[in-house]
Structure formats: C-alpha cells, structure tokens
Amino acid sequence: MRVGVLALQGDFREHLMVLRELGADAIPVRRESELSQVDGLVIPGGESSVMDKLSRMFDIAEPLKARIAAGMPVYGTCAGLIMLADTVLDAIAGQQSLGGFDIAVRRNAFGNQLDSFETDLDIAELGELPVHAVFIRAPVVETLGPRTHALGTLADGRVVAVEQGNLLGTSFHPEMTDDYRFHARFLDTVRANASVEVASSRGSGEV
C-alpha cells in the first residue's frame, strides 16, 4: 500500500510525516506518473485557488478527477476539502474544484488568518476522546448531499468534517496536532479499498 500527498502547494510535508509515522509508504505527488503509483491520496491545506491553478499547470487535474471518480480514497483537509467539493460557493473568478464530494463549501468561512481558532470536537466515529481541531482560514460545509455523512460539527451546528464512501474531509488541520485518528481512519479506508480491488482482480482472472 502506497499513499500520496498532493505536493503542489501547502503543508504537504506535515501530512507525509504523519502518514509515515503511522507506517504508510507515503510519497509526494506532483505529476500523473506519481499519481499512478498510489492507492490513496491526501490533499493538504494551503490556498485552494493556487492549488487549482497548479494542478492544471502540472496536467494532473484531469487524472485526479478520473481517479476520484474511479473510487480512489482521498482525504482533503482545509483547502483540500474545497478541492474535493462539487460546489464552491464563493470561488474566485475562474477557480475550479476536482469534485467528488456531494457538498457545497464556503471558503474562509471564519474570516482571515487573525480569526484562526482551536476547539474540541466530539467525533463519535473516532471514539469518546474529543478531537482537538485547529482552524486556519477554514472552509465550512454548508450543504450536504444525500450520499454524504457529517462526522463533526461545531457547537453552532456548522459541519466541519464529512465522509462519503472513500472520501474523507475536514475543515481543520489534524496534521498540526498529535492526534492522528483522522489519518488512521483514512489509511483504514485505503487498505479496505486495496483489498477489494485485489479480490476483484483475482475473481476476474487478472494477474
């Protein structure tokens, strides 16, 4: 099992460190040839509009869309969540997303860098211990499609963690804390998906 981190812009190094600490074979991904080597992908925080432009400049946007549509597990944090959203409500002119998540998100929903904050979230799927969440110019999920499940919400009800099949997304930055349960959940999805693909290949006679 090999996992990639989209390394065009943002805090991809931190995600690589976390994934490697959890025992994954993690590599930076910038080009289609690298994308073809991985079983799952993390899209990190950063600036979503810049990440969008670079993904098209490096000719990896369309291959990414194809892999997401084919069911590759992907975890998006902050800007990564924006990249995965089908709808970006306040996108800048010309900004595109990769899509896949049946959600609508709003960029910088909490204000600018000075409005960054931290809080504890109850995430039932991750156990009783609250998740300490770091929000930095974070998006918020404003609309959930019928296929999408809200994993975490703020006290006011705003959705900040979502899951849909093999897709996982958080408005906050787990890689900035020492709580790696979201990354571990993502790796569990990658392993399960890889096992299904191997079983399917054997059943069809592929080698």
Q: Any residues with CB less than 8 A from the CB of 95 and at least 6 apart, and which? A: 48, 49, 52, 88
Domain count, the chain: 1
Q: What does pTM read for this prediction?
A: 0.94
Distance from C-alpha of 127 to C-alpha of 50, rounded to nearest angstrom: 35
Q: Which two tokens stand for residue 68?
A: 């997401």
Give residue 86's identity as a one-letter amino acid code: D
Domain CATH code at residue 189: 3.40.50.880
One DSSP character per residue, 106-170 reads: ETTTT-SGGG-EEEEE--GGG-SSPEEEEESS--EEEEE-TT-EEEEE-TT--EEEEEETTEEEE
Render each residue's pLDDT in the chain as its tens digit; 207 residues.
899 999 999 999 999 999 999 999 999 999 999 999 999 999 999 999 999 999 999 999 999 999 999 999 999 999 999 999 999 999 999 999 999 999 999 998 887 766 789 999 999 999 999 999 999 999 999 999 999 999 999 999 999 999 999 999 999 999 999 999 999 999 999 999 988 876 665 565 554
Residues noted as catalytic: 78, 173, 175
Q: What pLDDT was estimated at residue 205?
A: 58
Range of the domain at 42: 2-203
Give residue 69's identity as a one-letter amino acid code: A
Number of residues in the chain: 207
Q: What pLDDT was estimated at residue 75?
A: 98
Distance from C-alpha of 187 to C-alpha of 147, rounded to nearest angstrom: 21
CA–CA distance from 170 to each of 127, 159, 162 (Å)? 17, 9, 6
- CB-based contacts of 124-130 (< 8 A; 24+ apart in sequence): 125/151, 125/163, 125/185, 126/181, 126/182, 126/185, 127/181
